Amino acid sequence: MPGLTPKYGTKYMLIRKNSLQSLADTMSEPEIRGRSLWADARKRFIHNKAAVAGLAVLILVSVFASFGGWLAQYPNDEIDFMVIGQVAELGGPSFANGHYFGTDDLGRDLFARVVQGTQISLMVGIVGAAIAVVAGTLYGAIAGYVGGQVDNVMMRIVDMLMAIPYMFVIILLLVMFGRSISMLFVGIGLLSWLDMSRIVRGQTLSLKNKEFIEAAQATGVSSINIILRHILPNLLGVVAVYATLLVPLMILTESFISFLGLGVQEPNTSWGALISEGAGTMQYGTLWQLAFPLFFFVITLFSFFFIGDGLRDALDPKDR
Amino acid sequence: MNSKLLLPIALGASLMFSISVEAKMMNGEKLAKEQVFTYRLLDDIKSFDPQINTAVQGAELMRDLFEGLMNEDIKGKLIPGAATGFTLSDDKLTYTFTLRDAKWSNGEAVTAKDFVYAWRRLVDPKTASEYAWYMELMGVKNASKVVKGEVTPDQLGVRAVDDKTFEVTIDNALPYFASMTVHGSTFPVLQSVVEKHGTDWTKPGNMVGNGAYVLTDYRPGEKVVRERNPLYWDNENTIVDKTVALIINDDNQALTRYLAGEVDKTEIPAGQYPRLLKQYPKQAYSYPRSCSYIYWFNIGEKGPKSLKDVRVRKALSYAINREIITDRILQGGQYQSFNFAHQKTAGFQLPKIDYAGWTQKERDAKAVALLAEAGYGPDNPLSLTLNYNTSETHKKIAIGVSQFWKKTLGVKLTLANNEWKIHTTKQQNGDYEVSRYAWCGDYNEASTYLDLLTSYSGHNVSGYSSKEYDRLMVESKTMKNPNANYAKAEALLAEAMPFAPIYQYTGVIMLKTNLRGWPVDNLMQNWYSRALYLVEE
Amino acid sequence: MLNFIIKRLFFAVPTILVLIVFSFLLMHMAPGGPFTSERALPPEILANLEAKYGLDQPLHRQILIYLKNVVLHFDFGPSFSYKDRTVNEILSQGFPITLTYGSIAFVFAVLSGVSLGVLAAIYHNSLLDYLAVGITIGAQVLPNFVMAPILVLIFTLFLGWLPGGGWEYDDPKYIIMPVVALATSFMASIARITRSSMLEVMNANHIRTTRAKGLPTRYIILHHALKPALLPVLSYLGPTFVSMITGSVVIDMFFSTGGMGLHFVNAALNRDYSVMMGITILVGVLTILFSLVVDILYAWIDPKIRY
Asked which of B308-312, B403-407, C205-209, C237-241 is least confident by mean pLDDT, the reply is C205-209
Residue A185 CA, chain-centre distance (Å), reads: 11
In a domain, residue A14? The reply is no
Contact: B329, A84; criterion CB under 8 Å: yes
Q: In this predicted model, what pLDDT tens digit does every residue of C63-89 receive, in sequence order? A: 899 989 988 888 999 998 898 999 999
Q: What's residue A270's pLDDT? A: 92
Average pLDDT over residues A20-49: 68
**Highest mean pLDDT pick, B325-334, C15-24, C262-271:** B325-334
In a domain, residue A288? The reply is yes
In a domain, residue A217? The reply is yes
What is the pLDDT confidence band of residue A24, given thresholds at 50, 70 and 90? Answer: low
* Pick among A87, A173, A260, A266 to test the B interface (most B CBs inside 10 A): A266
Considering the domain B3-258+512-534, what is its CATH architecture? Alpha-Beta Complex (3.90)
Q: What's residue B469's pLDDT? A: 95
Contact: A84, B417; criterion CB under 8 Å: no
In a domain, residue A239? The reply is yes
DSSP annotation of C216:
-
Contact: B262, C163; criterion CB under 8 Å: yes
What is the pLDDT confidence band of residue B457, given thresholds at 50, 70 and 90? Answer: confident
Q: What percent of chain A is modeled with pLDDT above 70?
A: 83
Q: What's residue B3's pLDDT? A: 37
Residues of chain C contacting A192 with CB distance shorter than 8 Å: none
In a domain, residue A123? The reply is yes
Q: What's residue A26's pLDDT? A: 61
Tell me: pLDDT of C174 over 50: yes
Residues of chain B contacting A3 with CB distance shorter than 8 Å: none
Q: In this predicted model, what pLDDT tens digit does every residue of A174-208 receive, in sequence order? A: 766 666 777 777 777 776 788 788 878 877 877 77
Contact: A284, B418; criterion CB under 8 Å: no
Question: ipTM of this predicted complex?
Answer: 0.88
Tell me: pLDDT of B358 over 50: yes
Q: In this predicted model, what pLDDT tens digit does every residue of C32-57 receive, in sequence order? A: 888 887 777 888 888 888 888 888 88
Q: In this predicted model, what pLDDT tens digit does every residue of C267-307 receive, in sequence order? A: 888 888 899 889 888 888 888 888 888 878 877 776 665 54
Q: What's residue A176's pLDDT? A: 67
In a domain, residue A289? The reply is yes
Beta-carbon contacts below 8 Å between A and C = 174
Give burial (CB, 10 Å; 0-12/13-18/19+) of B107. Answer: exposed
In a domain, residue A131? The reply is yes
At residue B156, φ and ψ (nearest 5 deg) are: -60, 145
Q: What's residue C235's pLDDT? A: 76
What is the pLDDT confidence band of residue A28, given thresholds at 50, 70 and 90? Answer: low
Q: In this predicted model, what pLDDT tens digit does every residue of A75-97 receive, in sequence order? A: 888 888 888 888 888 888 888 88
B384: helix, strand or coil: strand
Report the distance separating Cα C149 and Cα C160, nearest Å: 14
Q: What's residue A21's pLDDT? A: 61
Considering the domain B287-507, what is its CATH architecture? Roll (3.10)
| Span between the terminal Cα atoms of chain B, in Å | 40
C191: helix, strand or coil: helix
In a domain, residue A290? The reply is yes
Residues of chain A contacting C265 with CB distance shorter than 8 Å: 4, 171, 260
Q: What is the 3-state secondary structure (H, E, C) of B115-176?
A: HHHHHHHHHCCCCCCCCHHHHHHHCECCHHHHHHCCCCHHHCCEEEEECCEEEEEECCCCCC
Nearest CA distance, C219 vs chain B (angstrom): 49
Read off the pTM. 0.88
Q: What percent of chain C is modeled with pLDDT above 90?
A: 24
* Pick among A104, A106, A270 to test the B interface (most B CBs inside 10 A): A106
Q: What's residue B414's pLDDT? A: 93
Q: How many CB atoms lie within 10 A of CB B355?
A: 15
Average pLDDT over residues B61-83: 92
Residues of chain B contacting A175 with CB distance shorter than 8 Å: 419, 421-422
Q: In this predicted model, what pLDDT tens digit does every residue of A140-152 receive, in sequence order? A: 888 888 888 888 8
Q: Where in chain B is the domain with CATH 3.10.105.10?
A: 287-507
Contact: C240, A9; criterion CB under 8 Å: yes
Residues of chain B contacting A284 with CB distance shorter than 8 Å: 272, 275
Contact: B275, A85; criterion CB under 8 Å: no
Percent of chain B as helix, strand, coil, to the nearest 5: 35, 25, 45
Chains contacting chain C through 3 or more C-beta pairs under 8 A: A, B
With a CB-CB cutoff of 8 Å, which residues 46-75 of chain B face chain C? 46-49, 52, 54
User: Is residue B77 within a helix (H) or strand (E), and if so which, with residue range?
Assistant: none
> By residue range, what is the domain housing residue A287?
53-85+96-319
Tell me: pLDDT of A51 over 50: yes
Tally of domains in chain A:
1
Tell me: pLDDT of C91 over 90: yes
CB B9 within 8 A of CB B100: yes
CB B473 within 8 A of CB B450: yes
CB A149 within 8 A of CB B389: no
C105: helix, strand or coil: helix
Q: What's residue C142's pLDDT? A: 87
Contact: A178, B331; criterion CB under 8 Å: no
CATH of the domain at A234: 1.10.3720.10
> Which one of C45, C164, C252 has the shortest CB-CB distance to B257?
C164
Q: Where in chain B is the domain with CATH 3.90.76.10?
A: 3-258+512-534
In whole angstroms, how far apart are CA B210 and each of B62, B183, B419, C154?
A: 10, 15, 38, 43
Instruction: Report the relative pairing of strands B242-247 and B223-228 from DSSP bridges.
Output: antiparallel
Which is more confident, C9 or C1?
C9
Q: Across the beta sheet with B25-26, what order do the strands follow?
A: B19-20, B25-26, B29-30
Tell me: pLDDT of C255 over 80: yes
User: Is residue A269 within a helix (H) or strand (E), and if so which, with residue range?
Assistant: none
Residues of chain C contacting A156 with CB distance shorter than 8 Å: 11
Report the distance separating Cα B38 and Cα B58, nearest Å: 16
